[in-house]
Amino acid sequence: MTTVKWNADLYDGKHGFVATRGGEALDLLEAQPGERVLDVGSGTGDHVAALRARGVDAIGVDASPEMVARAREKYPDHPFEVADVCDLGYREEFDAVFSNATLHWVDDSHGAAEAISNALRTGGRFVTEFGGSGNIQRIDSGIWRVRSELGLPMVLHKFYFPTIGEYTSLLEEAGRFRVDAAWLFDRPTPLEGPDGLVNWVRMFCADLIADVPDQDAFFARLEETLRPRLHRDGTWWADYRRIRVCATKGMF
């Protein structure tokens, strides 16, 4: 099983918007009391807690042991497990699967769709939201520009930011899903505090700065580069673009 390391303190302390903004997608799941629901990429547990407060039998899985440990600490009476989305091991056990801000991190998108489909009963619902085509384009280009200016080498950093056509086709082919609705939309997101941009990069792009010898100088130049487009009225903004999909597992 592949696990990933995340900073749960920084995630909960400065990036609570991830769970908050995922609330709209969670509502689309229309989970009912007594239904069994799997939250894939459950982070520090807020969506599982919200579902269980509605009487839903929700379970959270995440590839980060640190995130799962924090979720168990916050919600000791709720079930959370460390699991790779491509190796969930469930077979037709859930009425619905939810996933927020997770699938853009998964290298094997085909394998993830298969595993999610396998976890669902026939007719089960899948609702997901994550980074879509064009997501964080300005932040990403800013990081690469500053790395180049400082003479730093290219670093492999792969996100999966699909178009609607790319992802819905994958779901239909790999996951045996019928896609019911899909959206691709801009969602500029305010970042917390004067160090909002720095904290965001440390949280979500740590591999792109791990080899930077003088990180203070790097971030000063990055802020200077991005300030004209991503800093307004004293607030840093992430140039998020999200894909949101509702699908149903078909009979094949």
98: in domain: yes
Collect the ranges in the chain with pLDDT lower than 70.
1-22, 252
Q: What is the dihedral of CA 204, 85, 55, 15, to 10 degrees?
A: 0
Closest to 56 (Cα-Cα) out of 81, 14, 27: 27
Domains in the chain, number = 1
200: in domain: no
229: in domain: no
56: in domain: yes
Calpha distance 242→59 (Å, rounded): 24
- Which domain range does residue 122 map to? 8-134+159-190+238-249
The predicted structure's pLDDT at residue 30: 96
Pairing relationship of beta strands 231-232 and 189-190 according to DSSP bridges:
unpaired
99: in domain: yes
The predicted structure's pLDDT at residue 14: 46
pTM: 0.91
12: in domain: yes
233: in domain: no
In DSSP terms, 125 is beta-bridged to 96, 248
173: in domain: yes
